[in-house]
């Protein structure tokens, strides 16, 4: 029997360049999420995280939804979805206001954040997130929670993330044509961070690099707040395309070859049990034999390019000092053999590969997690589910006459209060 999703039930869709992943869960007694169902489908119609063919995307979403509904026994009617792509921009902004009654009130905090986000952005961009980093009261720096403090001048620095209006609209349209309503659109690296970072890492300072299919999403957290974010335009599909072109084989064969035998750290060559790899091209007599070492020669430069782009970002904004806990790699690209060793050698920082974990609030203790989700490829999807669960408890109200697009962006702008 198929039932409709209820008040304590949440669902999320990770609309990726290579796969569509739908997760359904229910809020448990600890406030966490218990997974009820999962559905996956190859993703068609996206390029570098952006929908370029709505019809193909809808077909992929429908297949994943069907599997998730079949496993959970629930009819999914509303979802939270992720957003990424080269159109994502981020920057820090500051605002200053006078404290009205000598002690900082929520009204003062609202005003200073409004002042900080009052910046000009291009007409084709929309604010996705406004995330407070710290406050200053009469010049006293790095106040995390200014509520109730005494002073006359309040200053705030916030991290503002924007995205293309058209991209968000296409995501909403594709989901609605698939039969589900979008309640939230979340930046994917924020979702991945919620899924894989420990509270202590976020407090001390840590970077997260989610290497997906179309883009690699980076963020830095410090004092429990996001300090910096960036979308890098190179990811897993580039590795696959490089193999296809370099070896003269079909894309689908290159993807399989990458997963089974690909490596980007030279020492991994000695762990292979073969010097040659046979590639079945799919037709009679169509077998191509290549040197296993040639996979490294093709894949390593692309991996180096991703890490070099990240290095440029760290140097440009002097970010390395904000990462004493090191760097966490996640996403499907983190599974490429030797990627962790290469990154550790490049950055000279503590490094681990992150998988989804349900951390209890403000501690590093974990709730139970299904073995099915213990892979970096599910970090974004599970993080979106956690975000959906958090929003489920906000009791957010909107005008019934608002369009879905307007409603979603009102909720986006309301997320600021989760960080105050």
CATH of the domain at 213: 3.30.420.40
Domain containing 271 equals 199-356
User: Does any domain span residue 38?
Assistant: no
At residue 371 the predicted structure's pLDDT band, cuts being 50, 70 and 90, is: confident
At residue 363 the predicted structure's pLDDT band, cuts being 50, 70 and 90, is: low
User: Which of 22-36, 65-79, 176-190, 208-222 shows the lowest mean pLDDT across its residues?
Assistant: 22-36
Q: Do 134 and 261 have their domain in common?
A: no
At residue 29 the predicted structure's pLDDT band, cuts being 50, 70 and 90, is: confident
Q: Do 150 and 230 have their domain in common?
A: no
Report the mean per-residue pLDDT for the chain.
89
pLDDT above 90 coverage of the chain, percent:
78
Quick one: average pLDDT of 16-44?
A: 90
- Give per-residue pLDDT as tens, 98-113: 999 889 999 999 999 9
- Give per-residue pLDDT as tens, 38-50: 999 999 999 989 9
The SS3 assignment for 54 reads: helix
Backbone angles phi, psi at 202, to 5 degrees: -65, -30
CATH of the domain at 116: 3.30.1490.110
At residue 362 the predicted structure's pLDDT band, cuts being 50, 70 and 90, is: low
User: Does any domain span residue 167?
Assistant: no
Domain count, the chain: 2
Strands (E), 244-317: 276-280, 287-291
* CB-count burial class (<10 Å; 0-12, 13-18, 19+) for 29: exposed
Provide long-range contacts, Cβ within 8 A and 24+ apart, for 249-258: 249/279, 249/281, 249/288, 250/281, 250/282, 253/279, 253/280, 253/281, 253/282, 257/295, 258/295, 258/299, 258/336
- Give per-residue pLDDT as tens, 203-249: 999 999 999 999 999 999 999 999 999 999 999 999 999 999 999 99
User: Does any domain span residue 301?
Assistant: yes
Q: Do 121 and 239 have their domain in common?
A: no
User: Does any domain span residue 93?
Assistant: yes
Q: Do 134 and 232 have their domain in common?
A: no
Quick one: pLDDT at residue 366?
60
Q: Do 151 and 204 have their domain in common?
A: no
Q: Do 344 and 263 have their domain in common?
A: yes
Q: Do 111 and 221 have their domain in common?
A: no
Tell if the pTM clears 0.75, that is, is over it.
yes
Q: Do 112 and 207 have their domain in common?
A: no
Quick one: pLDDT at residue 283?
78
Quick one: average pLDDT of 184-188?
A: 93
Which of 95, 17, 30, 69 lies closest to 178, judged by CA? 69
DSSP symbols for 237-261: HHHHHHHHHHHT--HHHHHHHHHHH
Q: Is the pLDDT of residue 414 over 60?
A: no
User: Does any domain span residue 395?
Assistant: no
Q: Is the pLDDT of residue 391 over 80?
A: no
Q: Is the pLDDT of residue 361 over 60?
A: no
- Give per-residue pLDDT as tens, 295-342: 999 999 999 999 999 999 999 999 999 999 999 999 999 999 999 999
Q: Do 236 and 286 have their domain in common?
A: yes
Cβ atoms < 10 Å from Cβ of 235: 28
């Amino acid at each position: 029997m198929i039932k409709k999703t209820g008040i304590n039930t949440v669902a999320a869709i990770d609309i990726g360049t290579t796969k569509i992943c739908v997760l359904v869960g229910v809020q448990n007694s600890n406030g966490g999420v218990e997974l009820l169902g999962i559905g996956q489908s190859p993703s068609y119609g996206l390029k570098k995280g952006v929908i370029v063919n709505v019809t193909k995307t809808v077909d992929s979403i429908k297949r994943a939804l069907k599997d998730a509904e079949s496993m959970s026994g629930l009819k999914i009617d509303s979802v939270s979805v992720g957003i990424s792509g080269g159109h994502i921009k981020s920057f820090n902004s500051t605002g200053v206001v006078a404290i009205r009654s000598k002690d900082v009130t929520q009204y003062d905090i609202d005003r200073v954040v409004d002042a900080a986000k009052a910046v000009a952005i291009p007409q084709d961009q929309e604010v996705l997130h406004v995330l407070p980093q710290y406050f200053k009261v009469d010049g006293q720096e790095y106040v995390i929670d200014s509520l109730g403090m005494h002073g006359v001048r309040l200053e705030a620095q916030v991290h503002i993330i924007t995205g293309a209006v058209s991209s968000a609209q296409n995501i909403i349209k594709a989901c609605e044509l698939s039969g589900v309503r979008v309640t939230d659109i979340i930046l994917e690296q924020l979702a991945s961070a919620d899924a894989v970072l420990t509270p202590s890492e976020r407090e001390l300072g840590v970077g997260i690099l989610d290497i997906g299919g179309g883009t690699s999403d980076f963020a830095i957290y410090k004092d429990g707040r996001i300090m910096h974010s960036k979308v890098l335009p190179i990811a897993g599909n580039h590795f696959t395309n490089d193999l296809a072109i370099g070896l003269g084989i079909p894309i689908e064969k290159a993807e399989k070859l990458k997963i089974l035998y690909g490596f980007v750290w030279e020492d991994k060559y000695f762990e292979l049990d073969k010097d040659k790899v046979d590639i079945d091209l799919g037709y009679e007599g169509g077998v191509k034999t290549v040197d296993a070492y040639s996979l490294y020669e093709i894949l390593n430069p692309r991996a180096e390019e991703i890490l070099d782009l990240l290095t440029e970002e760290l140097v440009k904004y002097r970010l390395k000092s904000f990462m004493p806990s090191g760097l966490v790699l996640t996403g499907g690209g983190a599974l490429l053999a030797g990627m962790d060793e290469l990154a550790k050698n490049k950055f000279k920082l503590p490094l681990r590969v992150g998988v989804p974990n349900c951390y209890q609030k403000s501690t590093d203790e974990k709730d139970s997690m299904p073995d099915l989700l213990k892979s970096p490829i599910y970090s974004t999807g599970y993080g979106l589910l956690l975000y959906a669960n958090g929003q489920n408890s906000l009791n957010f109200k909107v005008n019934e006459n608002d369009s879905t697009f307007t409603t979603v962006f009102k909720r986006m702008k309301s997320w600021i209060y989760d960080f105050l």
